Amino acid sequence: MRRRHFLGTSAALGGLGLLAACAPGSDGGGGDASDGGGPAAGDVETDIASLGDVTLTVWDQEVRGAQNDAIEALITAFQEKYPNVTVDRQSQSFDDLQQQTGLALSGNDVPDVLQVNNARGDMGAYVADQLLTDLTGYAEAYGWEDRFSDSVLAKMRYSADGVTFGEGALYGLAQTGEICGIYYSQKKLDELGLEAPATWDELFALVDAAKEAGEQPIMLGNLDQWPALHVFGPLQANFVPAEEIVTLGMGNAGADWTSEQNVAALTQLAEWGTSGAMGDSPNGLAYDDAWPLYTKGTGVLLIGGSWLAPDMEAVMGEDLRFMAPPPGADGAVATTGGTGIPFSIPAAAENKDVAAAYIDFLTSDEAMQLIADNGGMPVNRTAELAPESGVNKDVYEAFDAVSTDGTLLPYLDYATPSFADTAGATLQEVIGGQTEPAAAADALQEDYAAFTEGS
pLDDT band at 5 (very low <50, low <70, confident <90, very high): very low
Contact residues for 79 (Cβ-Cβ < 8 A; gap 6+): 85, 86, 87
Q: Report the candidate in 364, 359, 367, 371 with the shortest Cα–Cα distance to residue 112.
A: 359
Alpha-carbon gap, residue 336 to 246, rounded angstroms: 10
pLDDT of residue 108: 82
Mean pLDDT of 209-235: 97
Say what the pTM is. Answer: 0.82
Span 253-258, average pLDDT: 97
Domains defined along the chain, listed by start: 13-176+340-381 (3.40.190.10), 178-338+396-454 (3.40.190.10)
Tens digits of per-residue pLDDT, 20-65? 333 223 333 443 444 668 999 999 999 999 999 999 999 999 887 7
Q: pLDDT by residue (tens digit) across 80-102?
A: 999 999 999 999 988 888 888 98
- For 350-373, the pLDDT digits (tens) are 999 999 999 999 999 999 999 888
Q: How confident is the model at residue 455 (pLDDT cuts 50, 70, 90)?
A: low
pLDDT in tens, 300-333: 999 999 989 989 999 999 999 999 999 999 999 9
32: left (phi over 0), alpha (psi -120 to 50) or beta: beta
What mean pLDDT comes out for the span 374-399? 92
Q: What string of H, E and C letters represents the secondary structure of the chain?
A: CCCCCCCCCCHHHCCCHHHHCCCCCCCCCCCCCCCCCCCCHHHCCCCHHHHCCEEEEEEECCCCHHHHHHHHHHHHHHHHHCCCEEEEEEECCHHHHHHHHHHHHCCCCCCCEEECCCCHHHHHHHHHCCCECCCHHHHHHHCHHHHCCHHHHHHHEECCCCCCECCCEECCECCEEEEEEEEEEHHHHHHHCCCCCCCHHHHHHHHHHHHHCCCCCEECCCCCCCHHHHHHHHHHHHHCCHHHHHHHHHCCCCCCCCCHHHHHHHHHHHHHHHCCCCCCCHHHCCHHHHHHHHHCCCCCEEEEEHHHHHHHHHHHHHHEEEECCCCCCCCCCEEEEEECCCEECECCCCCHHHHHHHHHHHCCHHHHHHHHHCCCCECCCCCCCCCCCCHHHHHHHHHHHHHHHCEEECCHHHCCCCHHHHHHHHHHHHHHCCCCHHHHHHHHHHHHHHHHHHC
pLDDT recorded at residue 35? 60
Q: Over the stretch 401-419, which tens digit does the pLDDT of each residue have?
A: 999 899 999 999 889 989 9
Residues 6+ apart with CB under 8 A from 440: 266, 426, 427, 429, 430
* pLDDT for res 103: 85
